[in-house]
Chain A
Amino acid sequence: MTIFWHEMKKIWNPKVLSGIVLISLLFYQLFLSFHFENFPNGRPALDHYQISIELIEDFGPSLNESEYTQVQEWYSETIQEAKEYLRTNETANQLNISSYQSLQRELSNTERGTEEYKKVNQLYTEIYFEDEVNAFWKIQAYDNLMNDYDDKEALSEQTGIESNFESILPSVIYDNFQTLILYTGVLVLIAVVILLGRVHLPDQRKNMLPVQYVTKKGRSLFQGKLFASLVTTLVVTTTYLGAFFVLYSRNGIGMFLESSLYSFQLSRTVLFWYDLTFGQYIGITIAIIYGAALCGALSTLIFSRLASHYTALLGTLIPIATGMVLVLATFLLFRLFSMEYPLWTYWVGIILLPTSCLSFYLWRSRKESTVDII
């Protein structure tokens, strides 16, 4: 236990630690903050988000056919609202535009560049961007939503997935989450690698090994350092994920945790191998991040022991970290378990990554007891 604390103190070097804090803050500002501060990002994303929340409040995490008739009613009400607005709008009256549909029709049918087009376009800009008339944005969102809902049966036929796709989970939520979680995962990995890069190498550079390895616990120091490193990894990962979820909770997605990923809104763009709720999915990504952080820690430790100078250390860690980030960014975290890749890819990744890191580590660990210290 004493060794553990000694090693912890060395790992938590104030200079390196403040470096990591700074890097994290910058990383947050450059990559993450945007997706917190701009969620939902503009319209109609906001309308999708709001409508979905209303749906869940009224009907729970899924929307069945009878409940859907209610949605259709809301839709017609909104159409009416839009009509009301247009009735009092002069330009609209001039152009003879009296409904949402006729506005859209004029917009696509009028020839570009003409005076008339300019007027229609001006009206469009006025409604959508200057006055930000809710009804119009809402109708757009309802349109999308209802299209998706109507297509859901065809979807289960096409894909052969046995699901009614009635879950309410808009893609704005999922997309936002997966972008954030990927960057968070990458940041955790960076922090762990930087922090643990110095576990073994400085001792070697300072000629400490002959002092350490002749002591009673010397040959098991590798294990002692492993223990301290793993605890460090868990602490760092938990801190970062904790901070992440505190920030993420302010995105207001609590309502959707019960919703299944087999949602009519999401399944157009991404399909999943498993019928998970959004909450379960988040849980799995957390597990993946812990796993990736531990794998990163193990490989960093080994190379910290093997490298003879920092250039060699970085020279090996950069490809490894880049490789891991690529794996996370292509399938293991970003769009995890989506049908873009065959199911076995994910399981191979989930099994292969830890086993290879672990066996590499065990190989070195076994060697430690008989290695020559020159």
Chain B
Amino acid sequence: MLEVHNVTKKYKSFTALEDINLQFDHGIYGLLAPNGAGKTTLMKMLVTLTFPTDGEITYQGEDIINLGEDYRDILGYLPQDFGYYKSYTAEKYLLYVAALKGLNKQKAKQRIRELLEIVGLPNVAKKKLKTFSGGMLQRIGICQALLNDPKVVILDEPTAGLDPKERARFKRLLSTLARDRIILLSTHIVSDVESIANEIIMIKDNRILYSMPQQELNKLLEERLFETTLPFSELEKFRATHSVLSEKQEKNKMTVRFVATETGPWNKVEPTLEDVFLYVFEEETESSEEIKYG
């Protein structure tokens, strides 16, 4: 169990995160937030790259700073834009990280073979990283995070650069791993965590806005999400009076998805995570604020 207790992080006069409380048990946690909300800062504290200005983070009840090596031993982390040596082969690079993770060479080689197989790169072990495409590199990044069979896996935008096929494979991989692990991933692509994340964490204005299972999150919009089709001429007016989440062009008309408190001649629809995300982080209007914060 990984817990964040009243954590605040300040950089000089700038506050990146304030009074954060979170609990992680087994399963996948999706961290959703717009850019600059403090997502990466939170992740960096969870992996001990930076340290809280206030509060503490505990693993199995002990402060992760005190745990030190023991904590990092069960940790896997994929940073955003992770570093690598261009002139190294995939295997050499992974062996290097494995050494840092304290694995012995024989075991590491075995593990590297397995992992490359899992991420769908079985034949590239001896190829230099500078010849890799962005998607291949990203998969090498995932491999390095999983080398030590970590109990806590933290992934910062892991799906960046992956094609849809790879993304699907990656989702399957996460689901398998999540059985007895904590997996926290941040992403901008809501569909990556939809259907596999047990819990969604949303950060806004340097605070945790929500931390709850998807179904509960969807309740925010239950009975309030509608879809209707309009001619273009009426669109402008409709936008001004309703909280529109998304628009889709169909023939000569627009299909609009929006939130409303009253009912009307519209089709009620089931909310998805994306709807919630757009709704929570949309440009705030007075009416929307009332609904969100009660």
Judge A-B direct contact (beta carbons within 8 Å): yes
A374 nearest in chain B by CB position: B50
Q: Which secondary structure characterizes the binding site on chain B?
A: loop
Partner of A370, one of B51, B72, B81: B51
Task: List chain B residues, Cβ under 8 A from A213.
Answer: 48-49
Asked if B72 and A215 sit within 8 Å, CB to CB, the answer is: yes
Complex interface residues of chain A between 193 and 228 (CB less than 8 A to chain B): 203, 206-221
With A209-B83, A214-B47 as contacts: A2 and B99 at CB distance below 8 Å: yes
B102 within 8 A of A: yes
Asked if A203 and B83 sit within 8 Å, CB to CB, the answer is: yes
A154 within 8 A of B: no
Asked if B101 and A216 sit within 8 Å, CB to CB, the answer is: yes
Task: List chain B residues, Cβ under 8 A from A206.
Answer: 83-85
Minimum CB–CB distance for A239 against chain B, Å: 25
Minimum CB–CB distance for A57 against chain B, Å: 59
B76 nearest in chain A by CB position: A214
A6 within 8 A of B: yes
A373 within 8 A of B: yes
Most buried by B among A2, A211, A220: A211
Q: Report how many A-B pairs have Cβ atoms within 8 Å.
A: 84
With A219-B68, A372-B51, A374-B50 as contacts: A207 and B101 at CB distance below 8 Å: no
Tally of chain A residues near chain B (CB < 8 A):
25
With A372-B49, A373-B44, A373-B50 as contacts: A216 and B73 at CB distance below 8 Å: yes
Most buried by B among A6, A209, A210: A210
Asked if A207 and B48 sit within 8 Å, CB to CB, the answer is: no
Task: List chain A residues, Cβ under 8 A from B82.
Answer: 207, 210-211
B161 within 8 A of A: no
Tally of chain B residues near chain A (CB < 8 A):
29
Task: List chain A residues, Cβ under 8 A from B105.
Answer: 2
| Docked pose: A370 CA to B49 CA in angstroms | 9
Asked if A3 and B44 sit within 8 Å, CB to CB, the answer is: no
With A211-B83, A217-B101, A217-B102 as contacts: A6 and B96 at CB distance below 8 Å: yes
Task: List chain A residues, Cβ under 8 A from B55.
Answer: none
Asked if A215 and B97 sit within 8 Å, CB to CB, the answer is: yes
Complex interface residues of chain A between 171 and 213 (CB less than 8 A to chain B): 203, 206-213
Task: List chain B residues, Cβ under 8 A from A370.
Answer: 51
Complex interface residues of chain B between 72 and 88 (CB less than 8 A to chain A): 72-73, 75, 77, 79, 81-85
B79 nearest in chain A by CB position: A210
Task: List chain B residues, Cβ under 8 A from A219.
Answer: 48, 68-69, 72
Most buried by A among B49, B73, B75, B85: B49
Most buried by A among B47, B95, B148: B47
Complex interface residues of chain B between 205 and 227 (CB less than 8 A to chain A): none
B8 within 8 A of A: no
With A203-B83, A214-B72 as contacts: A373 and B49 at CB distance below 8 Å: yes
Partner of B77, one of A3, A210, A217: A210
Minimum CB–CB distance for A31 against chain B, Å: 34
B240 within 8 A of A: no
A213 nearest in chain B by CB position: B49
Which 10 residue pairs of A and B lie closest in terms of their CB atoms, listed nearest first?
A207-B83, A208-B83, A210-B79, A2-B99, A215-B100, A373-B49, A372-B50, A214-B77, A216-B73, A214-B47
7 chain-A/chain-B pairs, Cβ below 8 angstroms: A2-B105, A211-B79, A214-B49, A215-B101, A372-B51, A374-B49, A374-B50
> A residues within 8 Å of B by Cβ?
2-3, 6, 203, 206-221, 369-370, 372-374
> B residues within 8 Å of A by Cβ?
44, 47-51, 68-69, 72-73, 75, 77, 79, 81-85, 95-97, 99-102, 104-105, 144, 148
